[in-house]
C-alpha cells in the first residue's frame, strides 16, 4: 500500500515527506491575509473540521496531476492508496466549484469517458504525529548534512546532524525541493553570512544554514504553528541564539542587507515576491528558490532577469528544480 498525506501549515513553503513505504505530502501555501490566525487561537484548533474528497478508480498515470491540482485548489493534503486518492480541505474553504474543477480536470486528462468516482464527507482532526513518528527515518542530504527526528538515532559522527520534529506537518528534509535547497545552501553558503528564510516552516533551512556557518538567520512565516515549531527545532539544535522567527510575512521583516534569501514556496508566490527578495538582498547577494517543477524554469528565470537577477545555477532532482541567482 502506498500512502500520501499532506497538510497545509505555512504560508510560503511546499515540502514533501517520503518515509519508508509511506509517502507523506506536505503543502505549504498562502493563507487568507484577511483572516489571520492569532497565537491565542492556535490551541483551540484541535477540533478543526475537514472535508475529505475521495477520488476512486483513477488511472495511475494521472495521480500526480490530481494531487498537484488539489494543492492549487487549496487542499491541505492528499492520501493515496492503490487506486484511491483522498484530498483534504478545511470545511470553510471547500465548495462545489472546486469539485467541478476536479472533475473537469480529470476528464481533460483522461477523456470524457473516464469512470471516476468522487465522494465527499466531513472528518474531525486527527493526531497525525503518531503516524509520522512510526515512519520518519534519518536522511542524508548533500555531502555534509543528515536530517533526523529526535526519536531516531544516527551514528555517523562526520555528518552535520539537524534534528527536525514535525508539529502537525512540517518539512523534515525528505522532499526533492527541500533536498535541493539544502544542497544549494551547502554549495554556496559562506561563513558569517546573514540569511532570510521566507516561509520558514519547521526552520530546517535556517537551522542548516547556521550549522553550515551562517552568523544569523531570520525566518518568517504567518502560521503560528510554524513559528512555534521553528523555535522548538532551533532550541533542539542549539541555534536559538542565532535564529530569529517572525510571525508574519516578508513585509514584516524590517532588516535588509541579507547575504542570502531562501524561499522554498511555489511558482506563483516566488514570482510575486521576486522584487521584495531583491530589496532584501545586499549587492551580489544570493537568492535560492525552489518549490516548482522543471517546466516552470523558463517562467522563473524570465522574472528573475526582469528584476535584475543573474541565474548562476540550476539544481534538479526528478521533475523538481532549485534555481540559484545573484543580485
Residue length, the chain?
Answer: 327
CATH 3.80.30.20 fits 171-326, yes or no: no
Please say if the pLDDT value at position 126 is more than 90.
Answer: no
Q: Which helix (H) or strand (E) holds 294?
A: none
User: Range(s) for CATH 3.40.50.150 in the chain?
Assistant: 171-326
In the chain, the largest separation of any two C-alpha atoms, in whole Å, equals: 60
What is the pLDDT of the chain when averaged over all its residues?
79
pLDDT in tens, 182-237: 999 999 999 999 999 999 988 999 999 999 999 999 999 988 888 998 999 999 99
* pLDDT greater than 50 at residue 18: no
Q: Is the pLDDT of residue 248 over 70?
A: yes
The confidence band for 122, taking pLDDT boundaries of 50, 70 and 90, is confident
What's CA 55's distance to the chain center, in Å? 24
Between 39 and 198, the higher pLDDT residue: 198
Residues of the chain above pLDDT 90, percent: 44
Res 181: pLDDT: 96
Question: 204 and 178 in contact (C-beta within 8 Å)?
Answer: yes
Give 266's contacts (C-beta < 8 A, 6+ positions apart).
14, 29, 291, 292
Residues of each domain in the chain carrying CATH 3.30.70.120? 15-130
Span 15-130 CATH architecture: 2-Layer Sandwich (3.30)
Share of the chain above pLDDT 70, in %: 75
Q: What is the C-alpha separation between 152 and 19, in angstroms, rounded?
A: 13
Mean pLDDT of the 125-132 span: 58
Q: Average pLDDT of 295-318?
A: 96
Distance between CA atoms of 60 and 125, rounded to whole angstroms? 29
- pLDDT score at 130: 62
Q: Which residues does 182 contact at the CB level (< 8 Å), separation at least 6? A: 141, 142, 145, 147, 173, 204, 205, 208
Q: If you average pLDDT over residues 298-302, what whole number do you get? A: 97
Provide the pLDDT for residue 56: 81
Amino acid at each position: 500500500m502506498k500512502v500520501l498525506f499532506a497538510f497545509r501549515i505555512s504560508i510560503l513553503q511546499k515540502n514533501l515527506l517520503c518515509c519508508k513505504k509511506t509517502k507523506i505530502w506536505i503543502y505549504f501555501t498562502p493563507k487568507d491575509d484577511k483572516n489571520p490566525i492569532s497565537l491565542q487561537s492556535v490551541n483551540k484548533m484541535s477540533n478543526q473540521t475537514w472535508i475529505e474528497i475521495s477520488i476512486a478508480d483513477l488511472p495511475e498515470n494521472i495521480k500526480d496531476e490530481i494531487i498537484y491540482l488539489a494543492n492549487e485548489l487549496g487542499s491541505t493534503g492528499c492520501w493515496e492508496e492503490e487506486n484511491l486518492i483522498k484530498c483534504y480541505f478545511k470545511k470553510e474553504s471547500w465548495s462545489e466549484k472546486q469539485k467541478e474543477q476536479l472533475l473537469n480536470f480529470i476528464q481533460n486528462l483522461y477523456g470524457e469517458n473516464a469512470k471516476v468516482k468522487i465522494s465527499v464527507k466531513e472528518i474531525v482532526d486527527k493526531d497525525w504525529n503518531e503516524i509520522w513518528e512510526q515512519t520518519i527515518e534519518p536522511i542524508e542530504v548533500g555531502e555534509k548534512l543528515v536530517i533526523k527526528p529526535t526519536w531516531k538515532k544516527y551514528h555517523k559522527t562526520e555528518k552535520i546532524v539537524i534534528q527536525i520534529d514535525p508539529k502537525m506537518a512540517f518539512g523534515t528534509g525528505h522532499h526533492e525541493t527541500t533536498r535541493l535547497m539544502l544542497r544549494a545552501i551547502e554549495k554556496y553558503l559562506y561563513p558569517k553570512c546573514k540569511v532570510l528564510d521566507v516561509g520558514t516552516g519547521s526552520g530546517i533551512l535556517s537551522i542548516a544554514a547556521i550549522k553550515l556557518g551562517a552568523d544569523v538567520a531570520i525566518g518568517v512565516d504567518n502560521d503560528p504553528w510554524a513559528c512555534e515549531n521553528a523555535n522548538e527545532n532551533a532550541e533542539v539544535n542549539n541555534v536559538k541564539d542565532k535564529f530569529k522567527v517572525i510571525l508574519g510575512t516578508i513585509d514584516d521583516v524590517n532588516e535588509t542587507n541579507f547575504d542570502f534569501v531562501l524561499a522554498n514556496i511555489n511558482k506563483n508566490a516566488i514570482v510575486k515576491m521576486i522584487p521584495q527578495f531583491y530589496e532584501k538582498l545586499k549587492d551580489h547577494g544570493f537568492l535560492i528558490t525552489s518549490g516548482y517543477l522543471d517546466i516552470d524554469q523558463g517562467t522563473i528565470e524570465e522574472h528573475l532577469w526582469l528584476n535584475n537577477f543573474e541565474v548562476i545555477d540550476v539544481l534538479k532532482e526528478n521533475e523538481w528544480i532549485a534555481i540559484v541567482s545573484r543580485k
